Amino acid sequence: MHYPCTFARGENRFPKDEDGLMKMGETTYVDTWRTMQKIMTKGKIKAIGVSNFNKEEVENLIAAGKAPAVHQMEVHPFLTQEAFTRWHQDQGIHVQQFSPLGNQNSFYRDIYWNNGLANRGRLIDEPILAEIGRKYSKSPAQVALTWGVNNGRSVIPKSTIPWQIQQNMASDFVLEKEDIAKIDSLNANLRFNTPDEAYRWPLYKGLDGI
């Protein structure tokens, strides 16, 4: 389940109202969750994952019968979401990092300008990642990815370039604790204004940017 909401049914997959905001459907994400579980009992699916839910929304799914197997959410060294990911691990929910290289498209850069964090530049240009990379003979991108793997998460970097894809596949080496701590220190809660905002963040209200 990609978002904790449904959009209004119809021909248009991304229906908007006269103010340009998404038109919401009547089905709640909990309704969808219950239906997904029924499909599971029929053996048609093995596991259900969610994405972009906040803590309360995940708790509502658990209360509705079952924890998701996986939560795909934005995590990278500029947005470590440490407490939130630890909470998932305590619940037995696997965390999968989307945009594990900090993403680089303009949609995200615009958001960072809005909250005054665009001067961070691109994650893969971060000197600390380059310095750690030299120690292990790895690139900054590989250091960012293995930081996620070393923390028990999976990472799904996107690339269309064969050498980058090869590099990304070789990003599961072991970092020393002190290096993990240095990478943790890069956290800027990018996208959010406070560290705990991800717990409450209703992403679907910002979907007019699609």
Which positions lie near ligand NAP, rule CB under 6 A?
2, 51-52, 72, 98-104, 124, 141, 156-161, 164, 167-168
Instruction: Give the shortest CB-43-to-ligand NAP separation in angstroms.
Output: 26
Secondary structure (3-state) at 127:
helix
Of 137 and 160, the one with the shorter C-beta distance to ligand NAP is 160
Distance CA 27, CA 9 (A): 10
Of the two residues 42 and 143, which places its CB atom closer to ligand NAP in the complex?
143
For residues 102 and 190, is the Cβ–Cβ distance under 8 A? Answer: yes
Residue 20: which residues within 8 A CB-CB, separation 6 or more? 208
Nearer to ligand NAP, 141 or 179 (CB): 141
Q: What are the residues facing 154 on neighbouring strands?
A: 96
**How far apart are CB 69 and ligand NAP at their closest, in Å?**
15
**Least CB distance to ligand NAP at residue 165 (A):** 7
Residue 18 vs 151, nearer CB to ligand NAP? 151
Q: Which residues contact 204 (CB under 8 A, 6 or more apart)?
A: 3, 4, 5, 22, 24, 52
